[in-house]
Amino acid sequence: MPVMSAARPSPKPWPMKWVILVIVICLGAYTFLTLRYRKQSPSFEPYEDMKTRAVTVRLLSAGFQRIAVTAERPAGATSVPGGAAIAEAAGGLPTVLRDSLIDQPVLPADYTHIAAAPRANPLLPYSIQFTCSVGDHHQQLAGAHVYVREEEVYIVPEFEKLTGDLLARTRDSVVLMTVPPGALKSGRYQVSLLGARASRTWTLQVH
């Protein structure tokens, strides 16, 4: 008769405290790796997305090209070429541009100390520096856009309201704005720096 081997005893289960410890370690490692390496994607905002598309369509229909430009308050002294003959013009957005925008930008009230060159190379950035006055101490620089329509260039610095009890240190802001290379094609333009109460204008030759 064959000899029956003794049955092997069943392995003892892990103590519950070790199971819990392993789960906690795995969850911690997963959370760390997810937060550390996941790609940050902007949240989907359907209303803002539809509004942006609507503005783009309206601008194109009116013949505008919109250019995003950098606008900042320089930390120190800068050397921006000047020489353009600056003239005063009526304030506010031109009608065709105002009708193309859904949200009307908050413009500076007026401008002083404008440094802008009368000529530009299309392959190089074009910088403008100016001092502008805002309506009150509750406004701060939020950015700028340039709108090009045929031979007209409209520069629109945009300000936003500070929240709560925050106040700007002064109602006068020194702004350095730079149009990126290639944004303006060769040609002769009438540039308008738009303000709520008064604008400034000059001729720019790009070649």
Q: With bands split at pLDDT 50, 70 and 90, how would you rate the model's confidence at 37?
A: low
pLDDT per residue over 70-83, tens digit each? 888 887 767 888 99
Q: What is the pLDDT of residue 167?
A: 43
The domain spans of the chain are 64-206
| Farthest-apart Cα atoms in the chain, separation | 117
Whether this model's pTM surpasses 0.85: no
Give yes or no for residue 140 having a pLDDT over 80: no
d(CA 165, CA 204): 41
Quote the percentage of the chain above a pLDDT of 90.
46
Mean pLDDT in residue range 175-193: 95
For residue 204, give both structure tokens: 């720019």
CA distances from 146 to 15, 160, 184 (A): 68, 17, 10
> Mean pLDDT, the chain, as a whole number?
82
